[in-house]
Every structure is written in C-alpha cells, then in structure tokens.
Amino acid sequence: MKKADIFEFFRRLAEANPAPETELESVNVYTLLVAVVLSAQATDAGVNRATRALFAEVDTPEKMVALGEAGLKRHIKTIGLFNTKAKNVIALSQALIDQHGGEVPADRAALEALPGVGRKTANVVMNVAFGHETFAVDTHLFRVGNRTGLAPGKTPLAVELKLEKAVPQPFRLHAHHWLILHGRYVCKARTPDCWKCPVADLCRYKPKTPPPKAKAADSIKPA
C-alpha cells in the first residue's frame, strides 16, 4: 500500500472514531495487565464479565496473592484456559511484588519477563497504560494487516514490524486500536462487511462482499 493510501486509511478510521479505547475493563494499570493476560484466546466481553466482581475485590498484586490460585479460579472459571491463566496471574503478581515493588513496569523486556506475558500483552500495556506507540497484533489486527495489504506478514511479529515502519503520525498512538476494532466489527474473519467499510477502496481484498439482501416483507393476508 502506498504511503498516501496508508495516511488516508488511518485518516478515515480516525475520523470515524477519534478516540478509540481498549474494550477490556480495568481500574488501574495492574488490573489492565491482568485483564490482557486473561484475554488470550478469549473475548474481551467474556473477560469483562468474569473480572468485574474480581477487580472490585482485588486491585493490587498483594491482594491477588492473598486471594490465591483457587480463589482466582472461582472468579475466572468461565474464561478459556482458566487453570493456566490463574497460575500465571498469581505468579506474575508475586514477581511484581518481589522485583518491581508491586508496580507494573513500563519496559517491554521487564513485562515479557513476567509469567504469562508475551509481546502482544506487553505492547497493549505499554500503549494503553503508558502511552507508548506500540502495535499489539492480535488475530483481528493480523487479519486486517494481511487482508488489506496494509502490513502483510506471515507472523504477528512480521506484521508488527511492518506497521512500525508504515504507520505515520499523527496516527501511531491509536493505530492498533483502530485496526483491532475494524477487524472485530467490519473486516470480520468469515465474511467481512466490505459494503460498509470506510476504507474499502484502499483495500487490496478483491472479492468485496455486497450488502445483505433485504428480506421480503411478509405478505399480508386479508382478514
């Protein structure tokens, strides 16, 4: 995709949604980190349902460690892979206490050293909590990057590095949110809604989907 097209691509997404935000609910940086860890292979909506009561009770690493793995499992048992995630959350909470004074670090290497925290999670926390211009590549963003031709790559890291080079100012801070939301609600996996896409003319995806056919109104039978 040409530089001018990339600028216009993000200009339109920004015009439609000037201040995009993560859909994961949190009350502070620590609970944001926990929510992102729990969101792996799970929906944001499902994580939010499970964590509302949890975060009302637990909002620090110390409280999480006190809650314990069994207590955490009771809160998150509706989330996929909850056994492994509970173990990781307790371990990362203890690591924050032991290594960072109970605070979440703003450094990618330090974040990735925490149990259960990969590059995507680190990028989300750095962006949302600390305002870093990072590009967290989830399944939605990976699909959009490849399907549109914006940032084609065979791996999430390859897509991330393409975005790092391609995304211009003033769009870098919010770019990954626009792309994730676009993939979640418009450029969907099975059948993208090309007919309502604001950047369809800039996209390299060829089999553009037409608008759904209106259902014929039920005939009214005479009384």
Extents of the domains making up the chain = 3-19+135-202, 29-130
CATH superfamily of this structure's domain 29-130: Hypothetical protein; domain 2 (1.10.340.30)
Q: Among residues of the chain, what percentage have pLDDT more than 70?
A: 96
pLDDT in tens, 68-126: 999 999 999 999 899 999 999 999 999 999 999 999 999 999 999 999 999 999 999 99
> Is 158 assigned a ligand-binding role in the annotation?
no
Instruction: Assess if CATH 1.10.150.170 describes domain 3-19+135-202.
Output: no
**pLDDT tens, 136-162?**
999 999 999 999 999 999 999 999 999
- pLDDT, position 213: 78
Section 14-29 average pLDDT:
95
Percent residues over pLDDT 90 in the chain: 90
Say whether 87 counts as a known binding-site residue: no
Distance CA 37, CA 93 (A): 12
Residue closest to 89 by CA, chosen among 110, 120, 68, 104: 68
How high does pLDDT run on average in the chain? 93
pLDDT of residue 214: 56
78 marked ligand binding residue: no
DSSP per residue, 115-137: TT--HHHHHHHHHHHH-------
Q: How many Å is the maximal CA-CA distance in the chain?
A: 78
Give the whole-angstrom CA distance, residue 150 versus residue 163: 8
The label of the residue with tokens 């173990």 reads 87
pTM of structure:
0.88
203 marked as part of a ligand binding site = yes
Catalytic residues: 120, 138
d(CA 127, CA 121): 10
Taken in order 26, 144, 118, 161, the sign of the CA dihedral is negative
Band of pLDDT at residue 207, cut at 50, 70 and 90: confident
Q: Would you say residue 44 has pLDDT above 70?
A: yes
